[in-house]
Amino acid sequence: MRADVALAAAARRQAAQLARGVCFPEDLVARVELCVTEMATNLLKHAHDGSLALRVVRTGGRAAVECLSLDNGPGIDDLPRALLDGTSTAGSLGIGMGAIGRLADVSGVHSLRGRGTVLQARFWADGQAPAPRPVEADGLTRPIGGEQMCGDTWTVRTVSGHGPEALLLMMCDGLGHGPLAARAAERAADAFRESTRTNPVDVLQDIHRNLRGTRGAAVAVALVDAAAQRVHLSGVGNVTALVGTADTRHGLLSVPGIVGVQMPRARAFEAPFPRGSALVMHTDGLSDRWKPADFPGLFAQDPVVVATQILNQAAVRRDDAGIVVAAHGQR
């Protein structure tokens, strides 16, 4: 939802609908409404341009409502002070960013002076955030302007036989945009979830078979193994993949081709995955020229904040955009 004079009311209605849809009690619905209203008011008062994203997050049979605020500046000069409970931004409801963090079960904020701020608030139906896992993953997609359906998608699943410290991730860019691209992306996600294999090359072959008859896609599949501190990736088409830390970037290659149409022989590439690093995969709806050093403090954040800020700064308007981040341990 783009920032305009109707944003606060529209966001409040949608947030309440999402919260009631996953059986939040009314007092928790009210907390979510208060949070998104403050986010919307801050965008209108202070941001050059911005938007709100609201969604339901599900994991392990549990549900949460997540609120994400992102803008293009001017940033927050004194972030520690802004995060103090009771410190209000001018013209807002007066609860302040610190109170948003208190209201939410999980929250995060990252601000770049002159470039933009991302604020996250997640509310779990039972009021309890899950215990941190060795590898946490999250992502975000955004359709091209004028479209409701997005041809980019991401998904994550646990890896049988590898323990809790390994995850399998997929980033997919259906060719073009609109309903046909979205159909290809949905078919890729279905094949990824249904595959019983864990080697990225094998999973990519399963996706290729399921995409026959569609316009095809660029797809990357990665196995992140925290115990072994390695990433194994196989990709076909223009999907950017890298392992980054606060100031380093280790790229992983994909080979040319179209999954589902013209599939070359898939190859696997490896990279170190030390504690404190993150795997980032994104489509060509984001510029690949960004560097971790351009985002001071970002890689210490929750994966969804990392994904949202990179999308916020690097996405292009003329294409669908998608990104997924897997972070190794508390950073």
Same domain, 163 and 306: yes
pLDDT digits 0-9 by tens, 183-227: 999 999 999 999 999 999 999 999 999 999 999 999 999 999 999
Determine, yes or no, domain membership for 278: yes
Q: Answer with the one of 103, 124, 145 that is the final residue of a domain.
A: 124
The total number of structural domains in the chain stands at 2
Q: Answer with the one of 74, 102, 124 that is the final residue of a domain.
A: 124
Long-range contacts, 245-248 (Cβ 8 Å, 24+): 245/274, 245/276, 245/277, 245/278, 245/292, 245/299, 246/276, 246/292, 246/293, 246/296, 246/297, 246/299, 246/300, 247/292, 247/293, 248/292
Same domain, 145 and 115: no
Same domain, 93 and 163: no
pTM: 0.92
Show the domain range for 92: 7-124
State the Cα–Cα distance between residues 212 and 194, nearest whole angstrom: 16
Same domain, 215 and 83: no
Determine, yes or no, domain membership for 130: no
Q: How many CB atoms lie within 10 A of CB 162?
A: 17
CATH of the domain at 195: 3.60.40.10
Same domain, 321 and 217: yes
> How many CA atoms within 13 Å lie on the side-chain side of 280?
32
In the structure, what pLDDT confidence band is assigned to residue 91 with cuts at 50, 70 and 90?
very low
Determine, yes or no, domain membership for 2: no
Question: DSSP state, 163?
Answer: -
Determine, yes or no, domain membership for 246: yes
Q: Answer with the one of 124, 145, 172 that is the final residue of a domain.
A: 124
User: Is residue 74 scored above 70 in pLDDT?
Assistant: yes
Residue type, 270: E
CA distances in angstroms from 158 to 60, 100, 178, 225, listed in the order given: 11, 31, 30, 11
Q: What is the pLDDT of residue 99?
A: 78
Determine, yes or no, domain membership for 52: yes
